[in-house]
């Protein structure tokens, strides 16, 4: 925007050309006046002047001119509009220096995708800072710290909240402005105790957003449901009573709400305005920096506007805000704003990960408390804990829902319902038993357990519901087309003693259902089979044939097994009851029915084993989950600061262990006893027997080495002797044909070999004389070591 210096603004202000009540905004010009603020508000960490840029401590010439015009404007504004409150123009920074509010804004673009949108920026600012309330709440603050100082302190007033958020939005190319005005008490004090928790709103929306089944007008109408009018009247009375009770509770809650605020319309607040036009923004809206929530510009939480500014201009609202806020009209600026005195706003990756001051935040809502933690802050991986209460005083807990991240047991969500006494756990993919969902009333196996599994389960199981009286399992993608199994136990399943329960529990009824197998005829493809174990009966129902309304069915009665008193009952055709839809179909022979019964009885045994296996798997899952809860560990991602630090520590630990192991190996190489200590179970502490055995092993090893050394000398002697003999034989065969040169070479060779043989015999003789006693005891007292025979002469010497 082109800038223009307006020289007659003072005359216009004095002459009253600025008409009150007109939709008009005024901007400021500058002059040279030195400024110094009181030093009673300073950051302790910023007292060292050499740690900050000079712009924090000294005003430039342009800033001095701007402050002069701002002071002049403030005086004339107060004279012209004595009923209006002073404007926030030049608050004091952390070094006690006055700075114009527009120059405190520092547009900053970040490289983090989380801060590319206004939602991400607002969420970060609301979470990362904690509120310093204005004191008194009806006055403007005397100081406005830079965003760099605010990020270090992680504490801020609403004006500092808005300054940081507006700087980030301007850097993200939004047309954003800071707004100084008035708001309701709850917004100014960050009081959300009468608002519904946003997580509860999300859950309600997810439930209501489930797609409704569209009714087809051509479908067959269901049969009329026959219900008792008396029961319907009783149910209606019950519903009316519940509605009345709910209405009374609502009235009581409304009566407990706080009274009207005596300071309504006077409480000072600062928020952010985002104008349409940039970044595909279609409509102007407000952002409350304390919560990160967006509002329309006509929302009743905002009661009035005094001024609006960005990094280029400052606007004063001249409209009547007695009925709330309305859109401001923008005029061209007449002064080029000095560059911001604030350094580049640096947000580290660690700041984005920790989010909240100290990595932890506690928020109170209507009948709810929300606890939020940074990843890796809690040893159990907890990141969100939502506690829902039954009453407004938050004394009686209704349910507790927790969210986890990076756990080694892959637990993602856990909800404990205090009313129904049920616990629900949800897991991500990767759990040991492929468990995705688990709902139970207690951790004991005798309670009701509802489980869901991923498609990776070995037998295609996707859901299991187990109670002491029955069990239901659902399957998907099985080769045998089984998709449903229901088991009814004749007595309660007791899992405290798993082996006894598996052997003694009687199954009263087992129902299995199968999908259609197109490779078989419908009247041969089993749709359902029922094993009535207590009645020794098996019912088989087949799939419907085309253009049929009734399926074929067979009932088999198992023959009695042999006992000590009676022999086994023979199979007869009366033991099968068949119903064939097609009357012209040839009935099956007795032999075929007998083979079908045998196959069904084998399947029954397999089903019983599978049921016992399912019960055992439930027990194993519960035991495994109990062990996991006792030894929770977190998976550290190397792409996070905490993960990188953890990886660095692990790498240092691995290097330390490797160095210690290398040092140990080097020491062991020098240790002559190391090969013998390895043979013992415990080489650190030796018993008397171990010490004696170690002594015998060392002595035997030493003797063996002596014998091997003697054998090496003997082998060398024999080798030299054989070579001399071969040369002598060669000479005897060729002496008549040898030349004089060959004669001389032969003589030299014989002399050399004779000398080598003499030296070898001398060495062997001296070695044997030195170690005669050791070699003799080695050869005869230790049969475990084998030695080769020595030369006869050497043997005689020894």
Residue 649 CA to its chain's centroid (Å): 21
Report for 33-42, 521-530, 759-768: range of highest mean pLDDT: 521-530
pLDDT digits (tens, 9 = 90+) for 548-603: 888 899 999 988 877 766 677 788 888 888 888 888 888 888 898 889 999 999 99
The mean per-residue pLDDT over the stretch 656-669 comes to 82
Report d(CA 135, CA 263) in Å as an integer: 13
Residue with tokens 């500014």: 309
How far is the C-alpha of 312 from the C-alpha of 107, rounded, in Å?
11
Annotate 293-323 with DSSP letters as a single string.
EEEETT-TTEEEEEEEE-SS-EEE--S--TT
Cross-strand partners of 773? none
Contact 289, 272 (CB under 8 A): yes
User: What is the C-alpha separation between 170 and 274, in angstroms, rounded?
Assistant: 10
End-to-end CA distance of the chain: 114
Alpha-carbon distance values, 350 to 151, 343, 495 (Å): 12, 20, 48
792 or 42, higher pLDDT: 42
CA 604 to CA 715: how far, in whole Å?
Answer: 78
What Å distances lie between residue 497 and 297, 446, 625, CA to CA? 67, 11, 18
Tell me the whole-structure pTM to 2 decimals. Answer: 0.66
Max mean pLDDT among 76-80, 219-223, 631-635 falls in 76-80
Task: Please tell me the predicted confidence (pLDDT) of residue 650.
Answer: 80
Q: Residue 790 corresponds to which tokens in the numbers above?
A: 């020595």
Q: What pLDDT, in 10s, does the model give residues 142-169?
A: 999 999 999 999 999 999 999 999 999 9
For 274-321, write each residue's pLDDT tens digit. 999 888 899 999 999 999 999 999 999 999 999 999 999 999 988 776
Decide: 405 and 381 in contact? Cβ < 8 Å. yes
Of residues 37 and 630, more confidently modeled: 630
Strand 155-156 relative to strand 130-131, pairing: parallel
Q: What confidence score (pLDDT) does residue 28 get?
A: 37
Whole-angstrom distance, CA of residue 751 vs CA of residue 768: 26
The Cα 787–Cα 776 span in angstroms is: 11
- Residue 682: which pLDDT band, with cuts at 50, 70 and 90? low
Lowest mean pLDDT among 101-115, 240-254, 618-632: 240-254
Whether residue 738 is predicted with pLDDT greater than 70 in this model: the reply is yes
CA distance 723 to 168: 95
Crossing angle of helices 772-781 and 740-770, in 10° steps, is 80
Cα dist from 484 to 64, 436, 474, 510, 539, whole Å: 82, 19, 5, 10, 16
Q: What is the pLDDT of residue 632?
A: 87
| Residues contacting 451, CB < 8 A, separation 6+ | 435, 437, 438, 439, 463, 464, 465, 466, 618, 621
Q: Would you place residue 483 in the very low, low, confident or very high pLDDT band (cuts 50, 70, 90)?
A: very high
**Mean pLDDT along residues 442-463:** 86
């Amino acid at each position: 925007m082109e800038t223009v210096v307006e020289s007659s603004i003072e005359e216009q202000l004095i002459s009253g050309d600025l008409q009150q009540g007109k939709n008009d905004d005024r901007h400021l010009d500058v002059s040279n006046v030195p400024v110094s603020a009181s030093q009673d508000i300073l950051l302790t960490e910023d007292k060292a002047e050499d740690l900050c840029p000079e712009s924090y401590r000294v005003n430039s010439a342009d800033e001095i001119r701007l402050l002069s015009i701002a002071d002049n404007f403030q005086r004339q504004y107060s004279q012209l509009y004595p009923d209006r409150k002073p404007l926030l123009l030049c608050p004091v920074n952390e070094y006690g220096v006055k700075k114009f509010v527009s120059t405190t804004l520092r547009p900053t673009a970040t490289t983090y995708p989380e801060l590319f949108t206004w939602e991400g920026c607002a969420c970060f600012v609301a979470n990362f800072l904690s509120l310093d309330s204005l004191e008194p709440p009806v006055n403007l603050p005397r100081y406005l710290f830079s965003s760099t100082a605010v990020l270090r302190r992680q504490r801020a007033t609403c004006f500092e909240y808005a300054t940081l958020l507006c700087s980030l939005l301007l850097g993200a190319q939004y047309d954003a402005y800071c707004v100084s005005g008035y708001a309701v008490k709850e917004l100014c004090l960050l009081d959300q105790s009468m608002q519904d928790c946003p997580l509860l709103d999300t859950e309600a929306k997810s439930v209501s957003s489930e797609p409704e089944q569209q009714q087809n007008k051509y479908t067959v109408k269901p049969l009329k449901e026959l219900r008792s009018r008396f029961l319907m009247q009783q149910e209606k009375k019950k519903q009316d009573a519940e509605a009345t009770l709910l209405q009374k509770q609502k009235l009581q809650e409304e009566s407990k709400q706080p009274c009207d605020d005596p300071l309504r319309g006077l409480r000072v607040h600062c928020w952010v305005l985002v104008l349409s036009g940039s970044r595909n923004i279609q409509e102007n809206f407000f952002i409350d920096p304390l919560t990160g929530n967006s509002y329309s510009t006509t929302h009743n939480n905002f009661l009035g506007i005094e001024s609006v500014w960005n990094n280029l201009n400052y606007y004063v609202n001249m409209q009547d805000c007695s009925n709330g806020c309305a859109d401001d009209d923008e005029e061209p600026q007449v002064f080029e704003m000095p560059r911001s005195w604030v350094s580049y706003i640096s947000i580290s990756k660690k700041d984005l990960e920790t989010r909240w001051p100290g990595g932890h935040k506690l928020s109170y809502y209507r009948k709810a408390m929300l606890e939020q933690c940074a990843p890796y802050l809690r040893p159990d991986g907890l990141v969100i804990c939502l506690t829902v209460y039954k009453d407004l005083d938050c004394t009686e807990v209704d349910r507790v829902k927790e969210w986890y991240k990076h756990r080694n047991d892959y637990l993602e969500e856990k909800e404990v319902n205090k009313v129904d006494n049920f616990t629900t756990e949800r897991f991500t993919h990767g759990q040991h038993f492929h468990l995705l969902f688990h709902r139970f009333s207690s951790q004991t196996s005798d309670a009701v357990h509802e489980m869901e599994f991923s498609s990776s389960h070995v037998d295609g199981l996707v859901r299991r519901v187990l109670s002491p009286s029955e069990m239901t399992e659902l399957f998907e993608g099985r080769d045998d087309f089984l998709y449903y199994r229901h088991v009814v136990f004749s007595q309660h399943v007791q899992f405290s003693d798993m082996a006894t329960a598996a052997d003694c529990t009687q199954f009263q009824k087992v129902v299995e259902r199968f999908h259609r197998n197109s490779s078989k005829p419908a009247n041969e493809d089993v749709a359902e089979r029922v094993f009535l174990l207590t009645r020794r009966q098996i019912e088989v129902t087949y799939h419907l044939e085309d253009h049929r309304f009734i399926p074929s069915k067979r009932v088999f009665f198992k023959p009695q097994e042999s006992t000590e008193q009676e022999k086994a009952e023979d199979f007869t055709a009366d033991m099968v009851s068949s119903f064939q839809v097609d009357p012209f179909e040839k009935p099956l022979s007795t032999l075929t029915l007998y083979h079908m019964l045998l196959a069904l009885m084998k399947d029954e045994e397999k089903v019983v084993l599978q049921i016992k296996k399912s019960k055992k798997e439930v027990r194993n899952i519960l035991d495994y989950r109990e062990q996991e809860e006792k030894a929770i560990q977190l998976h550290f991602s190397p792409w996070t600061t905490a993960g990188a630090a953890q990886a660095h520590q692990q790498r240092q630990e691995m290097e330390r262990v490797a160095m210690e192991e290398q040092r140990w190996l080097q020491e062991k190489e020098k240790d002559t006893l190391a090969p013998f200590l390895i043979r013992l179970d415990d080489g650190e502490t030796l018993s008397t027997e171990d010490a004696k055995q170690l002594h015998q092993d060392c002595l035997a090893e030493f003797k063996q080495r002596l014998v091997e050394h003697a054998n090496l000398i003997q082998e060398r002697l024999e080798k030299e002797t054989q070579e001399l003999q071969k040369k002598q034989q060669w000479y005897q065969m060729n002496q008549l044909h040898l030349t004089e040169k060959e004669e001389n070479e032969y003589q030299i060779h014989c002399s050399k070999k004779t000398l080598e043989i003499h030296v070898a015999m001398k060495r062997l003789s001296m070695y044997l004389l030195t170690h005669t006693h050791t070699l003799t005891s080695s050869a005869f007292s230790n049969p475990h070591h084998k030695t080769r025979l020595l030369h006869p002469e050497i043997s005689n010497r020894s």
